[in-house]
Structure 1
């Protein structure tokens, strides 16, 4: 007899799917942390070397790269990306026609 598994379609945000109250903030932080890790790996830096360049402790960087970033603000993550040589641009879009809450989105230029 086959086992039936009920699937639920994702919202695209695992934090929202798990009913985290700060799901959007966590999604943005996860994207930023992922990019920081990607840059460090591409440069083949040790965590110690990266931490020195970023001006944070190696244990703090290790936590960030393992997805434990609750104690790190989005602003700090943007600062880390700038220290890694990335330009940061914040764009505020035009007003929406509806009364729906706007969204925060991270876009990485190539």
Structure 2
């Protein structure tokens, strides 16, 4: 039985904390989707306007804004950011920490 007051410190990645395979990929997708949602919010775009800009239907816009990201890969999220007028810079570097797996990060 788990004690109600029991707490565990987060790793900083909820997907890793939940033992989901490839947690850094899921976190990166969530961060990219968050960026898209922030831009949509800042520009005060409706679902219809967002759908037109991104070339998707309103149901997909709703899924994206609700965090249902199964139908979206990183390439598609990158394309959405480009369609919203943002540049994307990807940096690849050697993995140096042997105590953890290589990761994907959105900065």
Indicate the residue corresponding to 2:23 in structure 1. Answer: 23
Indicate the residue corresponding to 1:65 in structure 2. Answer: 65
Asked if the contact 2:51/2:58 (under 8 Å) is kept, the reply is yes
What is the aligned length?
Answer: 104
Asked if the contact 2:24/2:105 (under 8 Å) is kept, the reply is no
Asked if the contact 2:13/2:23 (under 8 Å) is kept, the reply is yes
Which ranges of structure 2 fall in alignment gaps of 5 or more residues?
A: none
Question: What value does the CA root-mean-square deviation take over the aligned residues?
Answer: 1.8
Indicate the residue corresponding to 2:52 in structure 1. Answer: 52
Distance 2:43 2:61 in 1: 15
Indicate the residue corresponding to 1:35 in structure 2. Answer: 35
Report whether the alignment pairs 1:13 with 2:13.
yes
Distance 1:35 1:75 in 2: 14
Larger RCO (CA within 8 A; separation ≥ 6): 2
Distance 1:4 1:76 in 2: 40
Which ranges of structure 1 fall in alignment gaps of 5 or more residues?
A: none
Distance 2:5 2:27 in 1: 27
Distance 2:49 2:85 in 1: 15
**Residue 11 and residue 72 in structure 1: after superposition, are their counterparts in 2 closer, same or farther (change >3 A)?**
same
State TM-score, norm by structure 1: 0.86
* Deviating 4+ runs (over 6 angstroms): none
